[in-house]
Structure 1
């Protein structure tokens, strides 16, 4: 970070804020992860043979049950139609792209790796890409995971492969298959602000098995300190233009004009943000999440927008608001800050407990660092990629060639 930005409050900050004490206590009481508690079949025990094949639409019900057993969000057939039949990328692909692969035994499907075609733009070139989606596999068949990943990375007529927010095991296996980490040293640092101290403390205390007395104490400690923390963003400047909020379905021609102007700026790899792609990306059938699109108009034209995704954790009830995307003409700092402030305010107004920012370019994060965020480190590389184009590979080795964030991969694409 630049030397002029304010220091972030990490989860192990030496200052003894009540929030830090609570978070350190929770960390010390963390239960073993599922990967630590899983057991492999006993040596010599029978394991039903599994064959790998491409996904078909008829697999929906079996895959949906497998995903629910694996703890993933409930899927819908309508969403499958959206991902593979209503996908704007289908217009540009040369051949019918794969929907993914399954591992199947005589008893049914025991593994699944989805693959969703997406478009990227770099200079004047349209790049066909694929993002991995919904990897889940029964514990007894985890050793077959690399076969699913290898098939994902071997797809023909695909120049770029992206996997986001996966497990350390998947990241390591991807690197064994010559995938690379995003060349950003701070991309694994998630910035967040606690909007409702009491609920945040209650949810965390309950999640990590703290007793009722500890839960009450934690809620009290967090509330006393974090209620003040929520006011520490500092003074907000007057917006440089008119701020409005629209529905995803109202994304139209002025977004297309902004997108085309953006493509004419400094060359960066950008996931396609044409109006059709934006509407498709943020329309999530069967999802309980909601989306807010915030626009900033300046000199009677759209100067930038931000998208906020609101979701409720199915297990804890924690209300999380995420900055899902932001795009500003010429990266104007005044417009960017106004949109960030509006996104934060939108999260507060939604009743959210937490506002998160993952990734995004340095010019956006520098503004956010002045707002004194908490920072947590993602447990592994949040984004790994592979390209079959040698010239593109050389370009993407430079962190300035990327405009990466939650819009990439499946973080905001799936329910």
Structure 2
């Protein structure tokens, strides 16, 4: 089968493919935003690949998200494949798409951290290995609204593997009106909403300290976060929390409200969770802050879509209170240098979770970004 790179005129057809499987579509501005990521421009990588039909229209696709990474003074690039969509009539088309993704040059790693149960067995055929070895099949979740979670499970059992077309006819279910409210967050001492992402901010100083540590990190520079938050298809701004000590940011968490499908309740996904080596106790503190505020934000649960042994150790007892989800190998990777693999402890930020998540539908179909404000009770450090 022929394979070619994605071009801008493909966007409508890419949306058609997403619509056929019930995955979130992007606006024209959203596709342009996704193509504008600086990591992709650094190495001239395609935005993805398609299998064209007889009229050169995409009949199957695979997206390509290239990120910058830092390892001390070194700047590296890694790529995650996303939105592999192959209709049943093109059985086998995933193979040339994945081969095109794997053979692109200039990368230290090629990976996916978001494989579904159906596609997971496919990656081993191409040399991608379950990674991290101990936790590649693990997801953690903490329940915030038991009734909403139970209703979601009941709907899934009732409908089974309903088609995207059937789900669309059912319409949106289990949407919580609090999602677009102005929640008052109850934050513990030393935790604050992170608002300042300028190049001279306390967060910028945190990133400088973080990248000086001896570990491999996806680019979390202020510019990178500003790009993430400028996604024109966001209906709700991600919640950024900082752990602040002595005026310095020592840890950061990013929570993004998602609604996985029409029949699922809203969920607060932890998209990023990172702290300085000297402040690893900030990780459970930030996680607990998200859990404690999830219900007031309208989330039925808090979910950490991928975890590493390092992160589990840092979370300590809090990890023991979580429900174990997943059960299939959703994380697969080829890392060319074993030393880099040993230095890399990724979070969902390194994958496609912040890009491919289904946003909660805005009230009255309006595309707007809502804000949250901290509660007056308790002290909150400034970040």
Q: TM-score, normalised by structure 1?
A: 0.72
Report if aligned partners of 1:295, 1:305 keep a CA contact under 8 Å in 2: yes
**Counterpart secondary structure, 1:143:** coil
Name which one, 1 or 2, has greater alpha-carbon Rg.
Answer: 1
Rounded to whole Å, the distance in 1 between the matches of 2:117 and 2:278 is: 33
Match of 2:355 in 1: 413
Match of 1:59 in 2: 10
Question: How do residues 105-120 of structure 1 correspond to structure 2 at under 5 angstroms?
Answer: 105-106=53-54, 108-120=57-69
Report if aligned partners of 1:113, 1:135 keep a CA contact under 8 Å in 2: yes
Match of 1:336 in 2: 283
**Are residue 380 (structure 1) and residue 328 (structure 2) matched?**
yes
Report if aligned partners of 1:407, 1:413 keep a CA contact under 8 Å in 2: no
Render the CA deviation track for 1:162-198: whole Å, top value 9, x for unaligned: 2121135644433222222213312422121111111
**What RMSD, in angstroms, separates the aligned Cα atoms of the two structures?**
2.6
Could you tell me how far 1:312 is from its partner in structure 2? 2.1
Question: How do residues 164-313 of structure 1 correspond to structure 2 at under 5 angstroms?
Answer: 164-168=113-117, 170-209=119-158, 242-247=190-195, 253-265=201-213, 267-313=214-260
Report if aligned partners of 1:165, 1:381 keep a CA contact under 8 Å in 2: no
Rounded to whole Å, the distance in 2 between the matches of 1:386 and 1:297 is: 36
Aligned length: 329
Shift in CA distance, 384/125, structure 1 to aligned 2, threshold 3 Å: same
Could you tell me how far 1:245 is from its partner in structure 2? 0.9
> Which of 348, 367, 375 is 2:295 aligned to?
348
Report if aligned partners of 2:110, 2:334 keep a CA contact under 8 Å in 1: yes
Rounded to whole Å, the distance in 2 between the matches of 1:276 and 1:282 is: 10
Higher mean Cα deviation, 305-314 or 55-64? 305-314
**Counterpart secondary structure, 1:156:** coil
Could you tell me how far 1:83 is from its partner in structure 2? 1.6
Rounded to whole Å, the distance in 1 between the matches of 2:287 and 2:269 is: 11
Higher mean Cα deviation, 365-374 or 285-294? 365-374
> Which of 69, 73, 77 is 1:128 aligned to?
77
Render the CA deviation track for 1:235-264: whole Å, top value 9, x for unaligned: xxx95x632113486686322211121122
Rounded to whole Å, the distance in 2 between the matches of 1:173 and 1:311 is: 27
Rounded to whole Å, the distance in 1 between the matches of 2:48 and 2:78 is: 14
Shift in CA distance, 333/123, structure 1 to aligned 2, threshold 3 Å: closer
Higher mean Cα deviation, 368-377 or 172-181? 368-377
Render the CA deviation track for 1:25-66: whole Å, top value 9, x for unaligned: xxxxxxxxxxxxxxxxxxxxxxxxx63211101100111111
Report if aligned partners of 1:248, 1:292 keep a CA contact under 8 Å in 2: no
Render the CA deviation track for 1:75-116: whole Å, top value 9, x for unaligned: 12212211222x13256x24x211111111126421001112
Render the CA deviation track for 1:122-163: whole Å, top value 9, x for unaligned: 232111222212111111112121100000001122332121
**Are residue 100 (structure 1) and residue 48 (structure 2) matched?**
yes
Q: Which runs of 5+ in 2 are unaligned?
A: 160-186, 358-383
Shift in CA distance, 411/82, structure 1 to aligned 2, threshold 3 Å: same
Render the CA deviation track for 1:222-247: whole Å, top value 9, x for unaligned: xxxxxxxxxxxxxxxx95x6321134
Higher mean Cα deviation, 65-74 or 241-250? 241-250
Q: Which runs of 5+ in 1 are unaligned?
A: 1-49, 211-237
Rounded to whole Å, the distance in 2 between the matches of 1:272 and 1:333 is: 19
Shift in CA distance, 356/57, structure 1 to aligned 2, threshold 3 Å: same
Rounded to whole Å, the distance in 2 between the matches of 1:168 and 1:337 is: 29
Rounded to whole Å, the distance in 1 between the matches of 2:348 and 2:47 is: 21
